[in-house]
Chains A and B, each alone.
Chain A
């Protein structure tokens, strides 16, 4: 499955990416499998979205897709079909928190 991922500006800079990332995700498309693939392709992003050891999402990072906030879903729950098919992107967002 080719999944589209949109990263926040700071992480695009860190990963030397312009625009969306297209990831070939093997198996079920879940937040966990998308992040596994993202970090395998862009190792410099390890630790910036989720903890490297526990895989817990960083507090000021949110996951959106299809107008829904999926931040608190299990990382193993399948993402919407529209994300899995590449019709809609998986959005990784820096929380709106000043600064």
Chain B
């Protein structure tokens, strides 16, 4: 019988939640790396026992952990993320130039085909790749040295490269997203990059339709249709049908179109999920209600999913890397909150139940579907 393994990164450690395919009874292990911030853990699609974790703290910096046995044991691997060549400047919050400086790894994206190849998105925004299982890291410097980079500015969480999408049908195509620069695409395996922000409109920047400067919170793709992308921007839920060349708004009837995560159903490429948040100045749920919104039409028409979720006095947030789907049938949907809850829906969002209620604040959630 199939199993699922949920990898949860929190402000104070990592937790691994496991269940059978019914997704009703759960075992919880952790905290792993207790006391450290775990921004992200992710498994290799090519070897489900190979996991990577980003472990960091303000005191002791960045550590990368690797497991070869599905998270039972871990070993430290390389943690040297050195920008390649001259380090230029980007814009600081006050608009003055500031040198690039490594802070942490936000996101680890293992290759779909090689367990030893993994990409890292870091703050200050840059993309690194390892082809030796994380022992050494090389910057794909064409991104950070893009001609627009001196104009990039940090979002509230820092100038982070937080999303990495690898096109399963074109091995040389990579999408990344940076807060607050926007989406970039490479068609040559990361050597050169083009901004992919046409159609975005952000009132928070001097030119609302500028080529770069947009605070993109998350982009998502269904592997069967890699030219269709969905985006949760700072404000606005967006869609592209041409691999990012142009975007159109699909916020439709959402109660608010501010939010962080967005994800796609494992078997229905037009079914997508978001968690609307009240506003960029409040960062909590509207009306004290925890509602996931689902669109079965690829956007514009949304329905609130509330069964099993608190509908009063709930003021948590759901961060950008904190939603995931499994590949069982029916598709399971998972998300974690800043209040330490991790919820599962084993029926594609129709009903929800907490797996755990009292973890540290959740930063990331990933799911593995295992045989």
List the A side residues contacting B58 at CB < 8 Å.
Answer: 60, 97, 99
Once the chains bind, are A52 and B80 in contact (CB under 8 Å)?
yes
Assess whether A21 is interfacial by the CB under 8 Å rule.
Answer: no
Once the chains bind, are B80 and A61 in contact (CB under 8 Å)?
no
Identify which of residues 17-74 in chain A touch chain B, using a CB-to-CB cut-off of 8 Å. Answer: 44, 46-49, 52-53, 58, 60-61
Assess whether B63 is interfacial by the CB under 8 Å rule.
Answer: yes
Once the chains bind, are A14 and B63 in contact (CB under 8 Å)?
yes
Interface code B69-81, partner A: CB below 8 Å = 1, 0 otherwise?
Answer: 0000000100110
Assess whether B82 is interfacial by the CB under 8 Å rule.
Answer: yes
Identify which of residues 58-108 in chain B touch chain A, using a CB-to-CB cut-off of 8 Å. Answer: 58-63, 76, 79-80, 82
Report the interface size for chain A: residues with CB under 8 A from the other chain: 18
Q: How far is the CA of A11 from the CA of B36 in the complex (A)?
A: 11
B103 CB to closest chain A CB (Å) equals 12
Q: How far is the CA of A99 from the CA of B80 in the complex (A)?
A: 25
A95 CB to closest chain B CB (Å) equals 7
Assess whether B35 is interfacial by the CB under 8 Å rule.
Answer: yes
Q: How far is the CA of A97 from the CA of B57 in the complex (A)?
A: 12
List the B side residues contacting A52 at CB < 8 Å.
Answer: 79-80, 82
> Most chain-B CB neighbours within 10 Å: which of A47, A52, A53, A60?
A47
Once the chains bind, are B80 and A58 in contact (CB under 8 Å)?
no
Once the chains bind, are B80 and A47 in contact (CB under 8 Å)?
yes
- With A44-B76, A46-B80 already in contact, the answer to whether A58 and B59 are too (CB < 8 A) is yes
Once the chains bind, are A47 and B82 in contact (CB under 8 Å)?
no
Once the chains bind, are A60 and B59 in contact (CB under 8 Å)?
yes
Count A/B pairs, Cβ under 8 Å. Answer: 43
Once the chains bind, are B35 and A10 in contact (CB under 8 Å)?
yes
List the B side residues contacting A61 at CB < 8 Å.
Answer: 59-60
Assess whether A75 is interfacial by the CB under 8 Å rule.
Answer: no
List the A side residues contacting B59 at CB < 8 Å.
Answer: 8, 10, 58, 60-61, 94-95, 97
Interface code B212-232, partner A: CB below 8 Å = 1, 0 otherwise?
Answer: 000000000000000000000
Once the chains bind, are B61 and A47 in contact (CB under 8 Å)?
yes
Q: Which residues of B contact A (CB under 8 A)?
A: 35-36, 57-63, 76, 79-80, 82
List the A side residues contacting B60 at CB < 8 Å.
Answer: 8, 10-11, 14, 48-49, 58, 60-61, 94
A8 CB to closest chain B CB (Å) equals 8
Once the chains bind, are A58 and B36 in contact (CB under 8 Å)?
no
List the A side residues contacting B62 at CB < 8 Å.
Answer: 47
List the A side residues contacting B63 at CB < 8 Å.
Answer: 14, 44, 47-48
Q: How far is the CA of A44 from the CA of B62 in the complex (A)?
A: 11
Closest to A98 in B: B58
Once the chains bind, are A47 and B57 in contact (CB under 8 Å)?
no
Q: How far is the CA of A52 from the CA of B62 in the complex (A)?
A: 11
Q: How far is the CA of A49 from the CA of B57 in the complex (A)?
A: 12
Q: How far is the CA of A69 from the CA of B62 in the complex (A)?
A: 25
Q: How far is the CA of A46 from the CA of B79 in the complex (A)?
A: 8
Q: How far is the CA of A60 from the CA of B61 in the complex (A)?
A: 10
List the A side residues contacting B79 at CB < 8 Å.
Answer: 46-47, 52
Closest to A51 in B: B61
Q: How far is the CA of A11 from the CA of B60 in the complex (A)?
A: 8
Across the A-B interface, the 7 shortest Cβ-Cβ residue pairs: A44-B76, A48-B60, A60-B59, A94-B59, A47-B79, A52-B80, A47-B61
Given contacts A48-B60, A53-B82, 17 further A-B contacts (CB under 8 A): A8-B59, A10-B36, A11-B60, A14-B60, A14-B63, A44-B63, A47-B62, A47-B63, A47-B79, A48-B63, A49-B60, A52-B80, A58-B59, A58-B60, A60-B58, A60-B60, A61-B60
B98 CB to closest chain A CB (Å) equals 17
Q: How far is the CA of A60 from the CA of B59 in the complex (A)?
A: 5
B83 CB to closest chain A CB (Å) equals 10
A43 CB to closest chain B CB (Å) equals 8
List the B side residues contacting A14 at CB < 8 Å.
Answer: 60, 63, 76
B56 CB to closest chain A CB (Å) equals 10
